[in-house]
Amino acid sequence: MSESNLDKLIPTKHGWHVGFNKQFDGRWKPFGRPRARQLVEYVPLFMRYLRVWYKLKRAKRRAHMDFLNPIPLQQIYGAPIGGLGCGTIGRGFRGEFCRYQLVPGLYEFQVVEANTFTVCVRRRNMTTYCQVLTPHRLRKKGFRSWNAAFPVENGRYQALYPQSWTTYDLPGQKIRLLCKQLSPVIPHNYKDSSFPVASFLWYIENLNDEPVEVSLMLTWQAGSASQEFVCRDISHQTINAAQDDITAVGVTIQQVLREMNLEYCIMGKKEIDNTITTRTNFNVDSDTAGRDIWLDLTEDGRLTEPNTTIRPAGLYSASCVCITSTIAPKSIKTSEFALAWHMPRIKFGLGQKSYSKWYTKFFDKESLTGSTLCIYTMQHRTKWEEDIAKWQQPILDDQSLPDWYKSAIFNESYFIADGGTVWLDVSDDHTLPEHIRKWGRFGYLEGHEYRMVNTYDVHFYASFALIQLWPELELSIQFDFTNTITYEKLESRVYLYHGRASHWKTLHSVPHDLGDPDEEPWLLINAYISHDTADWKDLGLKYLLQVYRDYIYTKNTAFLNHVWPTIKYVTDRIKTQDVDGDGLVDNGGFADQTYDAWTVVGASAYCGGLHVAALRACVEMARIMGDTNAINEYEAWLSLAKKSYSEKLWNGKYYNYDSSASRHHDSIMSDQLAGFWYLRLSGHKYEDFEKERVESALNTIFNTNVMTFGGGKLGAVNGMTSSGQLEIVSMQSEEIWTGVTYGLSSTMIMENLKTQAFLTAEGIYNTCYNVAGLAFQTPEALMRDCRFRSVGYMRALCIWSIQKALELSRLEQENGQQTNSDDS
């Protein structure tokens, strides 16, 4: 075969590389049940949970946390498509269209085999090759005559989100294909980043000595990925659209999905020397209809609309768009497709309110169609590529960074769009703060399995992505939480852990989340019912720290002015959680923080460290606000808290897990420096945490929780005993939390432990992407016995704290060198 130039069209060597024939470790499974000794504590909770689960099942609704039916592991995923808050569609690295999130916040994990690309090759007016570009055999009746099962050894995939490149070597044809996939996920772009579109730019390379005609066909089915949601009023229609210098031909599929209008639009870009043909509607469950499509394509590399009456449309009807081009010998040519899924208005599960999606505000809402979005995609694709390169290139060009990190930092960003994300236009709601009306209301799930919007204790970690990439959306979330501080809901409900009734939302508490998308988020907050989180000890502290960090990063004085009155409310409530008057919150003898299955008593390394850091944040905010009384109050409180934290928890090497007399009180917790971490990434140094102690704790964690536990290959386990054994007092103590490991690694970077940091974090990336088959579905937790919990989880976005640490540490180093130079 002649030398190929196709691979040179991939603009970067970086990203996740995998062949179609990749086999992952088959031992990895979803977490099943805790150890027997751990299980006893949770039997009453589980019995109460069963009653809730069955009640929801009878109502034909999903539990917001379904412990009985964890999502089965599918080791198939690649980079998904779709912008922020518009719904997303997953892609498999072998070309599957899978994991649909079209109904807001609700995922369907099926593969839709009809949604696929097919290639047809003709030489001298004869079809010599026709192949569906998927390595799977198609099971639907309509596809029995289609030539599927593309040879896995001939396909390669590379992902650097939000782009991916798939290469196909057509066996025996001397033809290579490259599909470049792109959705406009572009930091600091608050328009195009919200669009429900994807571009598929195909490069066709002819290595023959004669011209060949190549047709590429995109097939798309009506409905969604399953039949869980009612889909009605389906219709298919051929469309031609043009604007400026772009002309496109395709098919639109109109339907009503769960009482929301949804339009799919697939279009091919018309060029002077290509031909675009369509088949508006065929039945994928019909042998005859499917065979007719295949024979039509193989006959002349084109599709022909039948002259019969319009076929009835339904859940099994699909459409095809085919682009046919002639490629000269030893040359490359392109064919360009665009896909849009246009659902302009949405309702959540209870249907109490209807919202416009954010992207609709940039068009005339009455005339906006899927074809408008497809044409826009074709017009702006090149600009999107340039903008993505400007964002990514400085990191990719940094010779000091390992290649795995350059893949991880961008590929883990998938969750900002594919986290059940919604971005709503609420500009007409004058009850909301101006910032939310201007920038939209934004929400994303705790995880694909844990269906709660903007879960705050987890967002504490994940928010390092938003505050750096789309800071106005981070502030929008903060404004929403600020509004909840003075809200209370006195209606009682039973919480599962203790089995006691308590208020839905307590005055001046920070809520756990802003609701369940299968209910009514923002109207019904606090969907989480395992604990009464008004009693949690971390939420208020995390609110104070996030507010401070967000101000430091944005310098948005209007934001701080708006939030400041709630700081006093929250700190006053925190005072009531200090039982013994030592200046620190006291954990209540149950799992009353983000580690919600790991009991903690009294002063603790985690919450105590957050408390010290939060008080420093309050002092600094009071100074900015010029509030002398607040400065005096918080400084005195901080002095007492620091003294107690040191005396009660420091053991000479690290901070004890808690101040109780239990035999687990001196466990080594990997997240014990969370408070210091937040201050450090907000520009502070060692005002409140001694440098020597930080270094000692980090070295202890690295040596024990990282190296002794897993040899550096699994990240950092949450807990180890003081004797260097795995802490198994709780299922969560023996888990490795992906996002916590990333946060720990960023702390190490700030303390000049860069080698240890990258070794620690690489264990997470390599396990998820290259071993366990968890790419683009990074879970909350991994375990040493090849178990994982809660796939597709928010906290892994904490990887962006590593990037912040790299930038800050470099700045500190430069400033230090400048200071030394000035002194000399």
Which phi and psi (to 5°) does residue 319 adopt? -125, 160
- Count of CB atoms within 10 A of residue 29's CB? 14
- Residues 671 and 661: beta-carbon distance below 8 Å: no
Return the SS3 of 451: coil
User: What is the rounded distance in angstroms from the CA atom of residue 649 to the CA atom of residue 500?
Assistant: 32
Give the pLDDT of residue 34.
Answer: 86
CA distance 435 to 258: 31
Interacting residues of 162 by C-beta distance below 8 A, sequence separation 6+: 79, 182, 183, 184, 185, 388, 413, 414, 417
Q: What is the three-state SS of 311-330?
A: CCCCCCEEEEEEEEEEECCC
Task: Please name every residue paired with 77 in a beta bridge, in sequence order, or none if there are none.
Answer: 92
Listed as ranges, residues in the chain with pLDDT below 70 are: 1, 308-311, 817-824
Give kind and range of the element (H or E) at residue 427. Answer: none
Whole-angstrom distance, CA of residue 133 vs CA of residue 145: 15
Query: Residue 331: CB partners within 8 Å, gap ≥ 6?
Result: 205, 206
The span from the CA of 46 to the CA of 52, in Å, is 10
Measured CA to CA, the distance from residue 678 to residue 464 in angstroms comes to 10
The CATH number of domain 86-388, selected from 2.70.98, 3.90.930, 1.10.3210, 1.10.3470: 2.70.98
Contact indicator for 776, 96 with CB cutoff of 8 Å: no
Distance CA 332, CA 207 (A): 9
Query: Is the four-CA dihedral 578, 581, 583, 589 of positive or negative sign?
Result: negative
For residue 343, CA distances in Å to 236, 273, 392, 515 come to 16, 34, 30, 21
Q: Rounded distance, CA 360 to CA 703, Å?
A: 52
Residues 698 and 64: their CA atoms lie apart, in Å, by 36
Q: What's the pLDDT tens digit per position in 416-426?
A: 999 999 999 99
Nearest to 701 by CA among 732, 735, 672, 680: 672
> What per-residue confidence (pLDDT) applies to 818?
62
Where do the domains of the chain lie? 86-388, 401-814
The answer to whether 166 touches 156, Cβ cutoff 8 Å, is yes
Contacting residues for 784 by C-beta, under 8 A, at least 6 apart: 709, 710, 714, 717, 726, 734, 736
pTM of this prediction exceeds 0.95: yes
Cα dihedral 717, 722, 724, 728 in deg (nearest 10): -50
Do the bridges between strand 175-182 and strand 197-206 make them parallel or antiparallel, or are there none, so unpaired?
Answer: antiparallel
**The token pair that represents 509 in the structure block:** 């508490």
Where residue 631 falls (left for φ over 0; alpha for ψ -120 to 50; beta otherwise) is alpha
Under DSSP, is residue 774 helix (H, G, I), strand (E, B) or coil? coil
- What integer pLDDT is reported at residue 2 of this predicted model? 73
Alpha-helix runs per DSSP H in 533-598: 539-554, 557-575
Query: b/e for 542-573, b at 16 or more Cβ within 10 A?
Result: bbbbbbbbbbbbbebeebbebbbebbbbbbeb
Which structure tokens are listed for 386? Answer: 């340039």
401-814 under CATH 1.50.10.10, yes or no:
yes
Q: Does residue 60 come out as left (phi exceeding 0), alpha (psi in the -120 to 50 range) or beta?
A: left
* 359-388 residues labelled b (16+ CB within 10 A) or e (exposed): bbeeeeeeebbbbbbbbbbbebbeebbebb
pLDDT value of position 443 = 98
In whole angstroms, give the CA distance from residue 772 to residue 787.
9
* β pairing state of 231-243 and 126-132: unpaired
User: Using an 8 Å Cβ cutoff, are 332 and 9 in contact?
Assistant: yes
From CA 356, how far away is CA 260, in angstroms rounded?
A: 11
The amino acid present at 402, given as its one-letter code, is P
In 10 A of CB 32, how many CB atoms? 8
CB neighbourhood size of 175 (10 A): 23
State which amino acid sits at residue 815.
N
Of the candidates 55, 46, 61, 21, the one whose C-alpha atom is nearest the C-alpha of residue 149 is: 21
Spatial distance between the Cα atoms of 570 and 546, rounded to a whole number of angstroms: 13
The per-residue pLDDT for 315 is 86
Alpha-helical (H) ranges within 397-470 are 403-411, 414-417, 434-439, 456-469
Do you know the residue count of the chain?
A: 824
The residues near 394 (Cβ < 8 Å, ≥ 6 apart) are: none
Cross-strand pairs, 707 = none
Exposure string for 214-249, b = 16+ CB within 10 A, e = fewer: bbbbbbbbbbbbeeebebeebbbbbbebeeeebbbb
Cα distance between residue 444 and residue 513, in whole Å: 10
Among 660, 697, 694, smallest CA distance to 680 is for 694
The pLDDT value given to residue 634: 98
Q: Which of the 8 DSSP states describes residue 230?
A: -
Question: 511: which residues sit within 8 A by CB, 6+ positions away?
Answer: 456, 481, 484, 505, 525, 526, 533, 539
What would you measure as the largest C-alpha separation in the chain, in angstroms? 89
Q: What is the dihedral of CA 190, 191, 196, 199, to 10 degrees?
A: -110
Residues 6+ apart with CB under 8 A from 19: 152, 153, 155, 156, 157
Contacts of 136 by beta carbon, 8 Å cutoff, 6+ apart? 94, 96, 111, 113, 148, 149
The SS3 of residue 239 is strand
pLDDT at position 59 = 86
Is the Cβ–Cβ distance between 228 and 202 less than 8 Å?
Answer: no
Q: Which two tokens stand for residue 676?
A: 């210091």
The answer to whether residues 404 and 394 touch, using CB atoms and an 8 Å cutoff, is no
E strand map for 421-498? 422-425, 441-443, 489-494
- HSE-CB of 754 using CA atoms within 13 angstroms: 12
What pLDDT does residue 60 have? 83
Q: Is residue 745 a contact partner of residue 761, using CB atoms and an 8 Å limit?
A: yes
Extended strands (E) in 582-636: 587-590, 600-602
Q: What is the model's pLDDT at position 817?
A: 67
